[in-house]
Structures are given as C-alpha cells and as structure tokens.
Amino acid sequence: MPQVKRYCDNVKILDLQRTAAKLREEVIEMLLQAQSGHSAGSLGTADIFAALYFEIMNIDPKNPDDPNRDRFILSNGHICPIWYATLSHRGYFPKTELKKLRKIDSRLQGHPHIQMLPGIENTSGPLGIGLSFAIGISSAALLDQASYRVYCMTSDGELNEGQIWEAAMYAPKQRLNNLTWIIDRNNIQIDGTTEQILPLEPLRDKLESFNWYVIEIDGHNIEEIVNACNMAKAVTQRPTVIIAHTIPGKGVNFMQYKFSWHGLAPNKEQAKAALKQLRSMESRIESEYY
C-alpha cells in the first residue's frame, strides 16, 4: 500500500463538516423551490463534495477554464443539486441562482449540461456514461503531458449499466493513474436496494479483478475522503476507485436509508422538518423561515 501523509488538521475537518452541513441545507431549499429533484443522493454525497471542492481539488473558481485545473465529472447527473450548491458556495456563480433549479430559462438544468454553467465539466443524465467521458479527459491529459487529476463520481445503481464495465476494463489497460473513480455506495436505487434489484456484491472483488486500485471508506468521514484521494495520487500504473459507503438522505432522519427518497423532493412541511434537523447539527435554534 502506498504511504501518504495522514490528514489530521482537526480545524480544517470541522470546517469541511460545517460546509457539508450548509450544502445539505441548500439542497433542501433548492429541491423545495424546484418542487422536484433527487434528495437521497444529493444529501448522501455532501461530505464528498465538500472535501473535493474545498480541500482536495486544485481549482480556481475565478478561472474555471484553467487548463491545469483538476476535473470533476458527475456521472449520476440526477444528484446535480449538490453539485450546483457546491459550485455556488465555492464561488463559481451567485448563490441566488440556486433557486432557479429546474425552472424555465435556467442554467441549472434538471440534469447538468457541460456548457451551461461555469464549473460544470460534463453532460449527464442517462446513467453509465460519465466514466467513459472521464477516461477521455484522463487520456487527453496524458497526451498533453498535463498533471491535472480527474475525479469521476458514479452512483452504485448505475453500475447496472454495461458501459460502466466497458470503461472499467479500459482504464486499467491504459494505466490511467490520473483518474480517481468515486462510487457513491449508498445501496439504493429507484425500485429498491441495489442487492435486491441487481446485486453488485462482491463489488470490491469485481473492481480488483478489473485491476483497479480499490480503497473503501466511510463516505461521511472527511478525513477518510481526503486520505483516500491523496492515496490515489500515490498510485502508479493504474487507476484508483474509492468505494465510498454513504447513507442516502444523510442528515434527515425520515429520508435516511429510504430508497423511496431517491427521486423525491420534500414538500413544505418535510423541508421545514429537514432543515430543523440539519440546522440543529450546528446547534442552531429552529429557524423561522426556510
């Protein structure tokens, strides 16, 4: 196993946890405004988004087209509310625009489009296609002898798609060690749990047998997320996949673990209850408005 410096800046970790909590609040507010959208995955990946955009990736929101920037590709486009929330909080575009999610004439499409918003690096929606796209960017980086890294998030349900396994075979062949694939392993998909619908386990064994360097983490533990991404930088000759175990709907007790919240947005009462819980995570008092 490659040795890397452990990440143990407690102040920074606390800060990232707060950022993730803020992003979760933002997601609830966006979904309420839009009255549609995907709650579970958006809440479940907030810690990963906070870690990537506020700590791990080499990016500059003021120069979103910087050729040397690290790239993040979101294959499971339906969780874009958390991507949009993260990008706006990181300074890519005004936060006021978040309330336009899924509305007419908006840059915040229901599923992301590459040319619509600064910071959005790919188009996605149909599942299973983003990893191939990320491989294309990784390949271009090698051709250009560029040093940026490519991060690609997929869901676990989308591993049902055959194209994922085409891509999973190809990246190790090309020794794309600049590529880090993050699987949001939350065990749910639209119609039920992943193991009921189309079993993925033993997932780690599958990925290892495809010759990926596999790391398994708690996807809500900031330190583990940062460590895993740093460890991936030290892997040579092959790509890394991080299986990030997450809780769908994390932070809102009536959403957590429930596959029914995959594609559901909260109504007014539910949003109020969700925000109360999320805000209490920072020991705040119940808010009058949301």
Partner 1 sequence: MSDAVQNKSTRDAFGEALTLLGKSNPNIVVLTADLAESTRVLEFEKEFPDRFFQVGVAEQNMAGIAAGIAVNGRIPFMTSFSAFSPYGNWLQIRTLIAYSNANVKIVSTHSGLSAGKDGATHQALEDITLMRVLPNMVIISPADYNETKNAVKAAVEHKGPVYIRLTRDATPVFTNHKKPFEIGKSPILKKGKDITIACTGPILAEVFSAAEKMEPEISCEVINFSTIKPMDKDTLLDSAKKTGKVITVEEHQIAGGLGSAVCEILAENMQVPVFRIGINDSFGESGSYSDLLEKNQLNAKHIKIKVTDFLKNHAGN
Rule CB under 8 A: is residue 198 a binding residue for partner 1?
Answer: no
Mapped onto helix, strand or coil, the DSSP state of residue 241 is strand
Rule CB under 8 A: is residue 131 a binding residue for partner 1?
Answer: yes
Place of tokens 């599923």: 111
Looking at residues 145 to 184 of the shown chain, list those that interact with partner 1 (rule: CB under 8 A).
Answer: 162-163, 166-167, 169-170
Rule CB under 8 A: is residue 143 a binding residue for partner 1?
Answer: yes
Residue 46 vs 179, nearer CB to partner 1: 179
In whole angstroms, give the CA distance from residue 270 to residue 113.
29
In whole angstroms, give the CA distance from residue 219 to residue 90.
20
- Among 34, 278, 13, smallest CA distance to 286 is for 278
In whole angstroms, give the CA distance from residue 129 to residue 179.
15
Query: x/- string (CB under 8 A) for partner 1, residues 37-76?
Result: ------------------------------x---------
Residue 163 vs 193, nearer CB to partner 1: 163
Q: How far is the CB of 10 from partner 1 (least distance, A)?
A: 38
Q: What is the token pair recorded at 82? A: 């958390």
CB atoms within 10 A of CB 143: 8
Rounded to the nearest 10 degrees, how much is the dihedral formed by the CA atoms of 130, 238, 221, 112? Answer: -10
Rule CB under 8 A: is residue 86 a binding residue for partner 1?
Answer: no
In whole angstroms, give the CA distance from residue 55 to residue 237.
25
Residue 49 vs 133, nearer CB to partner 1: 133
Residue 104 vs 143, nearer CB to partner 1: 143
Rule CB under 8 A: is residue 126 a binding residue for partner 1?
Answer: yes
Could you tell me whether strands 192-193 and 188-189 are parallel, antiparallel, or unpaired per DSSP bridges?
A: antiparallel
The single-letter DSSP state of residue 266 is: -
Q: How far is the CB of 218 from partner 1 (least distance, A)?
A: 30
> In the set 8, 14, 114, 198, which binds partner 1 (CB under 8 A)?
114
Rule CB under 8 A: is residue 132 a binding residue for partner 1?
Answer: yes
> In the set 21, 82, 137, 247, which binds partner 1 (CB under 8 A)?
137
Binding site for partner 1 (CB under 8 A): 67, 113-115, 121-126, 128-140, 143-144, 162-163, 166-167, 169-170
